[in-house]
């Protein structure tokens, strides 16, 4: 297999874009990320060169696709997996403390995406667990692989984890065809999660994150002759971790493999850029990075440490609010911005209808933009009702 050339610029997608998943269709790459309680949900990007990544839309654009109205902070859209199969895009995601595990589809990456089918077990009850992954074997059998963190137990005040699990899935109806089976769950690190299953040259590889999503975060892998196992762990695990190092990118994990345009292999993953004396503050949040992957003679991948590139060139963004809809980067909290804002009431302005809520409340009257650069200058022209001021 080919050695990668690392064409990308790290971070690939800066500023609060965690849990990346990626698929490639006809030479174009599409990553998706988690959004938790923010709307619109699950941003999608496109690139043909792995250098320039353009926002192209969101999976969640309508009320009801996610049940966010009352989710706690950091609930909502967790760890989407984006795949393309039989001419359609598929996203499976956990709406944590909301609708549960969901399956969305669209013929075009830009959407419109479906309303989301809840995934249930053989008993018809919601399938408990997080971080679902989709794959298909050569016969077309669909497998849902997921992390067995039982959210219903967590909501009741306890944490119970069953490791990495898997079911065969009737994707049309969103119903498991069997009870969950346990798969390989890493090397013993806490919170095995973010499984992704791949068939590569006749062998099935199971990629997982473990160690928690903080400083102990890591990526490990196992392989098997079939999608159901039995899986054998890589002697070189973890494939990737920054724990115990002074690398500029920490908390590295939650990876998804893909092939670069030159045929080489790479991985998208999350990481943070720590700041402060004890390096515990990450003002950009969890971001999307990429790393080069090589394959050894005995069929195991090796992953390069995540490089951090020099700061990006100066960027100027401007919004006159003169379109019919808000531009893609704008987000709100737990309710769509159109419920309390207007772009037509006063042309060339974004009008927010105050309702007395503050930023201390669950559903503030708030429209924001992710910070993607550590040094920024923001200017806004504001009319608070008594005149216009800068």
* Active-site pick, 131, 193, 256, 287: 193
pLDDT tens string 279-305: 888 999 999 999 999 999 999 999 999
Residues 250 and 341 in one domain: no
Helices and strands (H, E) in the chain, number of each type: 1, 29
* Active-site pick, 19, 128, 131, 133: 19
Residues 222 and 335 in one domain: no
The total domain count for the chain is 2
CB 102 within 8 A of CB 119: yes
Cis ω for the linkage preceding 112 (within 30 of 0): yes
Residues 86 and 190 in one domain: yes
Residues 284 and 325 in one domain: no
CATH classification of the domain holding 336: 2.60.120.200
From 303, 323, 344, give the residue that closes a domain: 303
pLDDT tens string 129-183: 999 999 999 999 999 999 999 987 766 677 789 999 999 999 999 999 999 999 9
345: containing domain: 315-390
Residues 73 and 131 in one domain: yes
Residues 329 and 292 in one domain: no
Residues 204 and 353 in one domain: no
Q: What is the pTM of this model?
A: 0.95
Residues 277 and 385 in one domain: no
From 279, 303, 327, give the residue that closes a domain: 303
CA distance 212 to 250: 12
| Residue 193: active-site member | yes
Position 77 in a domain: yes
CATH classification of the domain holding 54: 2.115.10.20
Residue 4 above 50 pLDDT? no
| Residue 133: active-site member | no
């Amino acid at each position: 297999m080919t050695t990668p050339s690392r064409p990308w610029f790290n971070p690939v997608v800066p500023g609060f874009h965690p849990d990346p998943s990626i698929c490639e269709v006809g030479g174009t790459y599409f990553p998706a990320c988690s959004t938790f309680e923010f709307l619109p949900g699950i941003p999608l990007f496109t690139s043909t060169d792995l250098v320039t990544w353009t926002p192209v839309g969101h999976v969640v654009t309508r009320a009801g696709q996610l049940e966010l109205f009352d989710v706690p902070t950091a609930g909502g859209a967790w760890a989407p997996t984006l795949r393309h199969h039989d001419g359609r895009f598929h996203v499976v995601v956990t709406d944590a403390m909301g609708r549960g595990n969901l399956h969305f589809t669209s013929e075009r990456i830009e959407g419109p995406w479906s309303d989301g089918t809840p995934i249930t077990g053989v008993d018809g009850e919601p399938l408990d667990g997080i971080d679902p992954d989709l794959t298909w074997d050569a016969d077309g059998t669909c497998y849902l692989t997921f992390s067995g963190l039982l959210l219903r137990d967590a909501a009741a005040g306890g944490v119970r984890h069953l490791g990495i699990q898997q079911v065969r899935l009737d994707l049309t109806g969103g119903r498991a065809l069997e009870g969950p089976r346990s798969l390989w769950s890493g090397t013993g690190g806490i919170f095995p999660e973010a499984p992704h299953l791949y068939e590569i040259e006749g062998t099935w590889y199971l990629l997982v994150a473990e160690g928690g999503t903080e400083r102990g975060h890591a990526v490990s892998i196992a392989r098997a002759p079939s999608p159901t196992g039995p899986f054998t762990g890589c002697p070189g695990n973890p494939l990737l971790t920054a724990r115990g190092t002074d690398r500029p990118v920490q908390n590295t994990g939650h990876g998804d493999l893909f092939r670069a345009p030159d045929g080489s292999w790479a991985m998208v993953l999350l990481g943070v850029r720590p700041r402060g004396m004890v390096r515990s503050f990450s003002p950009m949040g969890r971001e999307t990075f990429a790393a080069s992957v090589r394959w050894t003679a005995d069929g195991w991948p090796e992953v390069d440490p995540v490089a951090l590139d020099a700061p990006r060139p100066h960027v100027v963004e401007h919004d006159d609010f003169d379109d019919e809809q808000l531009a893609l980067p704008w987000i709100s909290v737990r309710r769509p911005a159109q419920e309390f804002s207007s772009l037509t009431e006063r042309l060339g302005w974004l009008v927010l209808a105050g309702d007395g809520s503050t930023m201390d409340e669950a559903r503030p009257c708030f429209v924001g933009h992710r910070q993607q650069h550590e040094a920024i200058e923001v200017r806004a022209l504001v009319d608070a009702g008594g005149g216009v001021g800068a």
